[in-house]
């Protein structure tokens, strides 16, 4: 195919010397793709000067092959064919950079996730060769690019002042960065404000809140916004502008905050059982674990027996996994058509911690613990389990498809009976008369559809925010400059929430510490020689002020030309499609490059 | 490099997959090791709104049998881009009709980062179609 | 190459596994100068030796190598591999770490990693990097994706034939290399010394590690790894492809007789993961997991467990009482079925013991930091900052502070980095002037 704009061709032709490097991925690729054949096919491409293979391109020897070829001047454009670019594109760009070349003369071919893991035999090898040819065709057309450097506010905003938000705010402020701590309720503390003592060691929840609260109150760098929600978000990494709406005595007041990064610490809430779930809502003596914890604070501890709702509790049944670990086909979906399939992580220890407290404080109260698996995984938690056994808590195990039945009872003088097929006693059906049934309700994320929508943050079906990658970038969200901490990501206990908060604070500190940030250079670029000032691109642009027509002198005449404000340009390319002169392109993703790739694919 | 005609495998499907949604969605399908036809070529794009009408017609001209635009749909990180894209695709459909091309050869869809099943459905449907229709035949040379 | 006697940093990280690397990267990205001290000849820790990781089933190498490479190339990070820590003490405002560089008998500045020495060496040894299933040479690069790519000579088994020295193109081999000691000083330290598996040989009921087809879970990781010893899953005694594989959970945890009363936290998930990988590698094999409780508590873990059940992996709620050698290389598992059925026995072709997690390093007598009854490093504020130890300016991250999966380790390591940074800011604020 020939380019219709032949007259420009001379100017745009590169003599790119492309190096192609194909990864075996230790068999992940080479078990299904004939890597040597792919290399041979690449060698036949006119633009390719060198084609090599390696067991692990991401390893140092693999990267060193690229570096050597670049340093020797054998190649000046690089293609690596390996796993998904999300894993190693930056690895190889930095290898290119270490060789003294511009990191953007690099193109990635995805032959693992999109070839060897989904295709087999000759078609897999052929497709890998084609994708390499396409990548080489693009690489030949790549130009060196330079990052856009923008000033950044040395200020971060933390949304949610539960334990994760408080810890994040304190940790960031101590690095010399100002923090706005936004809390929708009247005071910081989050769910800790509703708890009594914490499993497994029994610290008072209030003490844990106070440990942060005092520093937050006294820190010159932290501004707390209680009764406040984020109403609007504008801008980009380093330069966000938030509109905060604060409810006060005189109605709502708006505040504008300039901030460099946003940390989502919006937390979670306890699952509310539906009406009739284990007789909840139908019988007053069926309560949730958070409700039990509230009543524990009210009990004096002088009595031999726990009292709840004015009733002495002789027998108490605790049921695990209420609103958690649901299985499609066994459990009914919620109103929003979702099932809480996940484990809520914290309830087992919380149940045992409360159970031990009750057994040790009110020996007249017996406890029957009905569970699926006891998940006392953390440090000090297995001891809780052992102690519960020593405290003569009676454990009964049920299967997901045979949950305990809670019924009103007229036997004896117990208001309730709970019947379960107990896996620990050869599935014998047992009925326990009870004064109280406590449901260990799971964790659900706070409704953050507003802010998540504004920032376009991804959430799973379960409503928790999804990190970029659980191991590579566990506290980052896909929107650059937006991070997460605590239980908005998944259920976790205070220790774990504090660890994610610290990790998020470390990332924010590294991002904003310098006062400037380097952004991807993938922004629109105007070829002023071609631009005739039609303004079509300005009309098509989706961002206010990113593109404008400016007057400029050309050969003594005043003409209009399009101009890009790089820091505002999102690089979407809406302008590219409408330019009648092909005078505007997105750096690194040009139409010409795509056309070259299609040619290579069509030619295969 | 000048292509020497469509000597290799026929009925190629080009997939324009957005880097924030559909491209990771295709990767997710790969991570699940879910097999699908190998005549599919995924190009990573920031936003498909970049491509002018002529790009699609050129692709068909070059012998591509089907194109699936896998966008982010409502999840598009570029506000307004999806709407513009949908309008453009309508204009491409009109041009395709003019040239006697079955408009089902071009499909606009939304694929999320974990939409493995939707991804497979789209690919398999387009493959069935292009197998049936064969390479694109233009009513008149463009 | 002689190291200077004393080198100064902002933070010394002890342990170059995923925890230490993450802490080092998070500190270095903030502008702090970090020394990473690693006992092995390569950084990467346990994670780089794994096959794939739950719950995403990413290959472990793909996730670890970028972090290893970033740390190795970071301008603020200096790696000290193949080093022992002889002592860590606080002296006034500084932490002093006394380090011994073990001799590789290969000059790391000269070695180009070409492996000519390895090819020439006539001495074969069991390759513990491959679970002991395959052989390596007495001089070799530790493993394919090791960083640094420098050969190490095993002095204990070397017969001093001189062949490696002869073939080395850079004269890097030096049989007379001696250990060298030097001192690192810093304002803070992060202890990320990781874990070891509880040893099979301590478990008499399970055969003390002497039954041929009873292996531990890290050995299975190697069998499953893409660059493992056999490139496929075979049982070690006779190279047979196993038709029936069993996992024994809590083989070294929740077990007072082993001195490990705690839950090791990762064994349920790694067993399920391995079972899923096995059912991919050996579609016809029966896979059974004998367990007490399945602890699939993390993000996406429960769904992962349910998927495994749906794939046909059999979960038997049972406590395994004894394991004996059976006929023809088989292994007899005697267990108490807790879902009815009482005491039962079953023969399997291969049995994997999900051994527990023990601390990888005992601070005593090297470092005056306290440990708990579980022998992991004590956290003085487990709720608000689990990484704080009772030694000023010293923080703990990852499995050194209790068994932990990779996801939790990485966030804890970030947390340790920020605590170290906070400590340094408080002692000598660098605030706005920081580069």
Give every CB contact of residue C379 below 8 A, 6+ residues apart in sequence. Answer: C385, C386, C387, C388, C389, C396, C401
Q: Which of A115, A106, A109, A124 is nearest to A69 (CA)?
A: A106
Mean pLDDT on B80-104? 95
User: Chains touching chain C at 3 or more Cβ pairs under 8 angstroms?
Assistant: A, B
| C58–B33 C-beta distance less than 8 A | no
Q: How far is C328 from chain B (nearest CA, A)?
A: 36
Return the H-helix or E-strand segment holding B98: helix B81-98
| A60–C69 C-beta distance less than 8 A | yes
Nearest to A572 among B47, B58, B63 (CB): B47
pLDDT of residue B7: 38
| C385–A502 C-beta distance less than 8 A | yes
Residue numbers of chain A with a pLDDT score lower than 50: 1-13
DSSP state, residue A100:
T
Alpha helix positions (H), C40-179: 60-73, 116-120, 163-167
Q: Which residues of A563-578 are buried (b: 16+ CB within 10 A; e: fewer)?
A: bbebbbbbbbbbbbbb
Q: How far is C59 from chain A (nearest CA, A)?
A: 9
The two beta strands, B66-71 and B106-110, are parallel
Rounded Cα distance, C377 and A221, in Å: 33
Q: How far is C430 from chain A (nearest CA, A)?
A: 8
Rounded Cα distance, C369 and C15, in Å: 16
Q: Which of A601, A492, A448 is nearest to A138 (CA)?
A: A601
Contact residues on chain C for A211, CB-CB shorter than 8 A: 384
Q: Tokens for B139? A: 């009513």
| B2–A114 C-beta distance less than 8 A | no
Rounded Cα distance, B101 and A449, in Å: 42
Outline which parts of chain C fall under CATH 3.50.50.60: 6-102+179-194+360-433, 199-356
Nearest to C262 among A91, A382, A471 (CB): A382
Q: How far is A85 from chain B (nearest CA, A)?
A: 9
Confidence of residue B114 (pLDDT cuts 50, 70, 90): low
pLDDT of residue B5: 36
Rounded Cα distance, B17 and A149, in Å: 28
| A1–B3 C-beta distance less than 8 A | yes
Annotate A130-166 with DSSP letters as a single string. Answer: HHHHHHHHHHHT-----PEEEE--SEEEEE--SHHHH
Nearest to B42 among A114, A589, A604 (CB): A114
Whether residue A264 contacts residue A450, with contact meaning beta carbons closer than 8 Å, is answered with: no
Return the H-helix or E-strand segment holding C305: helix C301-310
In three-state secondary structure terms, B119 is helix
Q: Distances from the Cα of B36 to the Cαs of A115, A119, A314, A317, C279, in angstroms?
A: 10, 7, 61, 51, 21
| C386–A56 C-beta distance less than 8 A | no
pLDDT of residue C339: 78
Number of cross-chain residue pairs from A and B with Cβ atoms under 8 Å apart: 150
Q: Distances from the Cα of A587 to the Cαs of A89, A546, C171, in angstroms?
A: 17, 15, 48
What part of C 280-299 touches B (C-beta under 8 Å)? 280
Q: Which residue has the tokens 């309508």?
A: B90
CATH code of the domain occupying C6-102+179-194+360-433: 3.50.50.60
For residue A551, cis peptide bond before it (omega within 30 degrees of 0):
no
pLDDT of residue B33: 80
The two beta strands, A428-434 and A268-270, are unpaired
Rounded Cα distance, A548 and B135, in Å: 43
Q: How many residues in chain C?
A: 435
Q: By CA distance, what is C402's nearest residue in A?
A: A379
Q: Tokens for C52? A: 């794939």
ipTM over 0.85: yes
Rounded Cα distance, A374 and C291, in Å: 12
For residue A203, cis peptide bond before it (omega within 30 degrees of 0):
no
Q: Which phi and psi (to 5°) does residue A78 adopt?
A: -130, 135
The two beta strands, C11-14 and C188-191, are parallel
Q: How far is B83 from chain C (nearest CA, A)?
A: 34
Nearest to A573 among B4, B29, B49 (CB): B49
pLDDT of residue C259: 83
Confidence of residue B25 (pLDDT cuts 50, 70, 90): confident
Contact residues on chain A for B12, CB-CB shorter than 8 A: 601-602, 604
Q: Which of C194, C9, C14, C27 is nearest to C88 (CA)?
A: C14
What part of B 72-111 touches A (C-beta under 8 Å)? 75, 77-81, 84, 88
Per-residue pLDDT of chain C (435 residues; tens, 9 = 90+): 455 689 999 999 999 999 999 999 999 999 999 999 999 999 999 999 998 899 988 778 767 887 988 899 888 999 999 999 999 999 999 999 999 999 999 999 888 777 789 989 999 999 999 999 999 999 999 987 788 989 999 999 999 999 999 999 889 999 999 999 999 999 999 999 999 999 989 889 999 999 999 999 999 999 998 677 887 899 999 999 999 999 999 998 998 888 899 999 999 999 999 999 999 899 999 999 999 999 999 999 999 999 999 999 999 999 999 999 999 999 999 999 987 778 999 999 999 999 999 999 999 999 999 999 999 999 999 999 999 999 999 999 999 999 999 999 999 999 999 999 999 998 754 433 333
pLDDT of residue A524: 96
Q: How far is A600 from chain B (nearest CA, A)?
A: 7
Q: By CA distance, what is A460's nearest residue in B?
A: B114
Rounded Cα distance, A422 and C340, in Å: 10
Whether residue C95 contacts residue C186, with contact meaning beta carbons closer than 8 Å, is answered with: yes
Q: Can you list the domains of chain A with their CATH numbers?
A: 16-145 (3.40.50), 155-267+446-517 (3.50.50.60), 271-442 (3.50.50.60), 523-586 (3.30.70.20)
DSSP state, residue A594:
H
Q: Is B3 on the interface with C (CB under 8 A)?
A: no
Q: How far is C429 from chain B (nearest CA, A)?
A: 39
pLDDT of residue C396: 98
Whether residue A212 contacts residue A201, with contact meaning beta carbons closer than 8 Å, is answered with: no
Q: Distances from the Cα of C61 to the Cαs of A411, B49, C69, C147, C228, in angstroms?
A: 62, 36, 11, 12, 12
Q: By CA distance, what is A479's nearest residue in B?
A: B77
Rounded Cα distance, B75 and B105, in Å: 24
Q: By CA distance, what is C255's nearest residue in A?
A: A382
Rounded Cα distance, A392 and A536, in Å: 78
Rounded Cα distance, C237 and C212, in Å: 6
Within 10 A of A179 (CB to CB), how many other CB atoms are there?
A: 29
Q: Which of B41, B49, B57 is nearest to B99 (CA)?
A: B57
Return the H-helix or E-strand segment holding A108: strand A106-110
Q: Tokens for C192? A: 């990320």
Does the pLDDT at position B88 exceed 60? yes
CATH code of the domain occupying C199-356: 3.50.50.60
Q: Is C62 on the interface with B (CB under 8 A)?
A: no
Number of cross-chain residue pairs from B and C with Cβ atoms under 8 Å apart: 4
Give every CB contact of residue A178 below 8 A, 6+ residues apart in sequence. Answer: A154, A155, A156, A221, A222, A223
Long-range pairs of A91-95 with CB within 8 A, sequence gap ≥ 24: A91/A58, A91/A63, A91/C65, A91/C66, A91/C69, A92/A57, A92/A58, A92/A63, A92/A66, A94/C70, A94/C73, A95/A63, A95/A66, A95/A67
Mean pLDDT on B56-84? 89
- Residue A465 pairs in a beta bridge with A459
Q: Which of C174, C316, C10, B3 is nearest to A2 (CA)?
A: B3
What angle in degrees, to the nearest 10, is found between the helix axes of A121-140 and A35-43?
40
Whether residue A561 contacts residue A531, with contact meaning beta carbons closer than 8 Å, is answered with: yes
Q: Is B123 on the interface with A (CB under 8 A)?
A: no
User: Chains touching chain B at 3 or more Cβ pairs under 8 angstroms?
Assistant: A, C
Contact residues on chain C for B31, CB-CB shorter than 8 A: 56-58
Q: How far is C56 from chain B (nearest CA, A)?
A: 8
Rounded Cα distance, A66 and A100, in Å: 11
Interface test with B, best of A138, A478, A542 (most B CBs within 10 A): A542
Interface test with C, best of A155, A158, A379 (most C CBs within 10 A): A379
In three-state secondary structure terms, A377 is coil
Q: Tokens for C195? A: 């874990």
Q: Distances from the Cα of C171 to the Cαs of C111, C160, C174, in angstroms?
A: 8, 15, 8
pLDDT of residue A15: 66
pLDDT of residue C69: 82
Q: Tokens for B37? A: 């036809």
Q: By CA distance, what is C56's nearest residue in B?
A: B31
Q: Which phi and psi (to 5°) does residue A583 adopt?
A: -95, -5
Contact residues on chain C for B33, CB-CB shorter than 8 A: 280
Q: Is C57 on the interface with B (CB under 8 A)?
A: yes
Q: Which phi and psi (to 5°) does residue C346 adopt?
A: -150, 140
Predicted confidence (pLDDT) per residue in A389-399, tens digit: 999 999 999 99
Alpha helix positions (H), C121-266: 163-167, 217-224
**Positive or negative, the Cα torsion across A65, A71, A74, A75?**
positive
Q: Is C226 on the interface with B (CB under 8 A)?
A: no
| A134–B8 C-beta distance less than 8 A | no
């Amino acid at each position: 195919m020939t380019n219709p704009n032949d007259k420009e061709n001379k100017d745009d032709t590169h003599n790119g010397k492309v190096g192609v490097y194909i990864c075996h991925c230790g068999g992940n690729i080479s078990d299904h793709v004939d890597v040597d054949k792919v290399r041979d096919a690449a060698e036949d491409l006119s633009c390719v000067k060198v084609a090599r293979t390696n067991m692990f391109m991401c390893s140092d020897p693999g990267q060193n092959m690229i570096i050597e070829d670049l340093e020797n001047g054998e190649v000046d454009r690089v293609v690596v064919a390996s796993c998904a670019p999300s894993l190693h594109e930056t690895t190889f760009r930095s290898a290119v950079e270490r060789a003294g070349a511009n990191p953007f003369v690099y193109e990635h071919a995805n032959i693992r996730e999109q070839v060897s893991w989904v295709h087999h035999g000759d078609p897999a090898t052929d497709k890998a060769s084609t994708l390499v040819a396409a990548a080489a065709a693009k690489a030949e057309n790549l130009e060196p690019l330079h990052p856009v450097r923008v000033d950044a506010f040395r200020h971060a905003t933390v949304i949610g002042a539960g334990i994760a938000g408080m810890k994040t705010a304190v940790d960031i402020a101590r690095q010399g960065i100002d923090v706005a701590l936004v809390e929708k309720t009247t005071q910081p503390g989050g769910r800790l404000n509703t708890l009594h003592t914490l499993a497994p060691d029994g610290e008072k929840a209030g003490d844990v809140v106070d440990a942060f609260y005092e520093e937050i109150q006294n820190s010159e760098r932290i501004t707390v916004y209680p009764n406040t929600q984020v109403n609007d978000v504008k801008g980009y990494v380093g330069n966000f502008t938030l509109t905060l709406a604060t409810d006060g005595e005189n109605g709502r007041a708006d505040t504008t905050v300039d901030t460099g990064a946003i940390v989502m610490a919006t937390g979670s809430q306890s699952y509310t059982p539906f009406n009739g779930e284990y007789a909840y809502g139908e019988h007053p003596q069926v309560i949730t674990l958070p409700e039990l914890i509230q009543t524990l604070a009210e009990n004096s501890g002088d009595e031999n027996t726990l009292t709840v709702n004015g009733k002495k509790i002789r027998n108490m049944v605790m049921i695990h996994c209420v609103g958690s670990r649901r299985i499609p086909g066994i459990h009914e979906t919620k109103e929003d058509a979702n099932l809480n399939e996940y484990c809520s992580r914290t309830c087992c220890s919380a149940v045992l911690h409360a159970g031990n407290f009750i057994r040790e404080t009110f020996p007249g109260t017996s406890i029957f613990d009905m569970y699926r698996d006891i998940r006392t995984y953390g440090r000090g938690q297995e001891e809780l389990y052992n102690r519960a056994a020593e405290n003569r808590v009676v454990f009964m195990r049920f299967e997901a498809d045979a949950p305990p039945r809670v019924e009103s009872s007229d036997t004896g003088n117990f208001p309730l009976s709970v019947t379960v097929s107990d896996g620990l006693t050869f599935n014998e059906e047992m009925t326990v008369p009870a004064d109280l049934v406590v449901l260990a309700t799971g964790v659900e994320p706070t409704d953050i559809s507003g802010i998540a929508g504004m920032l376009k943050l991804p959430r799973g079906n379960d409503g928790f925010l999804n990190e970029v990658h659980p191991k590579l970038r566990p506290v980052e969200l896909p929107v650059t400059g937006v991070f997460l901490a605590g239980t908005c990501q998944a259920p976790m206990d205070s220790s774990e929430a504090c660890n994610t908060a610290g990790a998020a604070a470390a990332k924010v500190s590294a991002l904003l510490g310098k006062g400037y940030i380097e952004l991807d250079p993938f922004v629109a670029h105007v070829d002023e020689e071609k631009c005739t000032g039609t303004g079509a691109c300005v009309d098509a642009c989706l961002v206010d002020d990113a593109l404008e027509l400016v007057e400029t002198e050309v050969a003594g005449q005043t003409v209009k030309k399009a101009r890009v404000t790089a820091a505002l340009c999102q690089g979407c390319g809406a302008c590219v499609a409408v330019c009648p002169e092909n005078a505007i392109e997105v750096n690194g993703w040009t139409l010409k490059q795509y056309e070259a790739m299609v040619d290579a694919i069509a030619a295969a | 490099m000048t292509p020497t005609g469509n000597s290799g495998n026929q009925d190629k499907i080009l997939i324009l997959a957005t880097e924030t949604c559909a491209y990771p969605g295709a990767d997710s399908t790969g991570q699940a090791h879910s097999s699908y036809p190998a005549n599919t070529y995924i190009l990573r794009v920031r936003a498909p709104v970049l491509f002018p009408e002529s790009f699609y017609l050129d692709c068909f001209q070059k012998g591509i049998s089907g194109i699936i635009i896998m966008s982010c749909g409502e999840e598009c990180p570029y506000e307004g881009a999806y709407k513009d894209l949908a309008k453009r695709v309508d204009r491409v459909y009109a041009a395709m009709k003019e040239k006697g091309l079955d408009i089902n050869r071009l499909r606009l869809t939304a694929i999320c980062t974990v939409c493995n099943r939707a991804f497979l459905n789209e690919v398999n449907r387009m493959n069935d179609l292009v197998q049936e229709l064969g390479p694109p035949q233009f009513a008149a040379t463009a | 190459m002689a190291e200077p006697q004393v080198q100064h940093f902002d933070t010394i990280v002890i342990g170059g596994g995923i925890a230490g690397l993450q802490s080092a990267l998070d500190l270095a990205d903030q502008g702090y100068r970090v020394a990473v001290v690693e006992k092995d000849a390569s950084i990467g820790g346990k994670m780089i030796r794994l096959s794939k990781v739950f719950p995403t089933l990413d290959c472990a190498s793909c996730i670890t190598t970028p972090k290893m490479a970033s740390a190795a190339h970071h301008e603020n990070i200096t790696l000290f591999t193949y080093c022992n820590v002889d002592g860590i003490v606080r002296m006034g405002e500084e932490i002093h770490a006394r380090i011994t560089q073990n001799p590789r008998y290969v000059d790391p500045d000269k070695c180009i990693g070409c492996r000519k020495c390895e090819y020439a060496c006539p001495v074969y040894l069991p390759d513990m990097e491959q679970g002991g299933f395959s052989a390596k040479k007495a001089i070799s690069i530790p493993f394919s994706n090791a960083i640094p790519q420098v050969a190490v000579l095993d002095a204990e088994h070397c017969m001093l034939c001189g062949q490696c020295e002869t073939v080395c193109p850079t004269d890097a081999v030096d049989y007379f290399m001696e250990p060298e000691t030097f001192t690192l000083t810093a304002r803070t330290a992060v202890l990320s010394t990781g874990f070891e598996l509880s040893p099979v040989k301590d478990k008499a009921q399970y055969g003390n590690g002497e039954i041929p087809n009873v292996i531990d879970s890290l050995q299975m990781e190697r069998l499953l790894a893409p660059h493992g010893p056999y490139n496929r899953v075979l049982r070690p005694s006779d190279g047979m492809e196993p038709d029936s594989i069993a996992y024994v959970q809590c083989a070294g945890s929740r077990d007072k007789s082993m001195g490990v009363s705690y839950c090791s936290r990762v064994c349920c998930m790694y067993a399920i993961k391995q079972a899923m990988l096995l059912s991919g590698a050996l579609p016809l094999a029966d896979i059974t997991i004998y367990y007490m409780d399945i602890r699939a508590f993390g993000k996406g873990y429960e769904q992962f467990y349910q998927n495994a059940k749906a794939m046909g992996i059999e979960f038997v709620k049972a406590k395994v009482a004894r394991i004996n050698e059976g006929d023809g290389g088989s292994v007899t598992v005697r267990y108490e079925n807790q879902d009815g059925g009482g005491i039962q026995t079953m023969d399997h072709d291969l049995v994997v013991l999900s051994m527990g997690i023990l601390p990888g390093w005992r601070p005593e007598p090297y470092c005056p930091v306290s440990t708990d009854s579980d022998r992991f490093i004590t956290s003085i504020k487990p709720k608000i900052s689990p990484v704080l130890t009772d030694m000023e300016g010293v923080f703990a991250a990852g499995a050194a502070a209790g068994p932990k999966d990779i996801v939790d380790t990485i966030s804890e390591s970030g947390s340790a980095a920020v605590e170290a940074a906070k400590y340094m800011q408080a002692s000598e604020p660098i605030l706005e002037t920081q580069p």
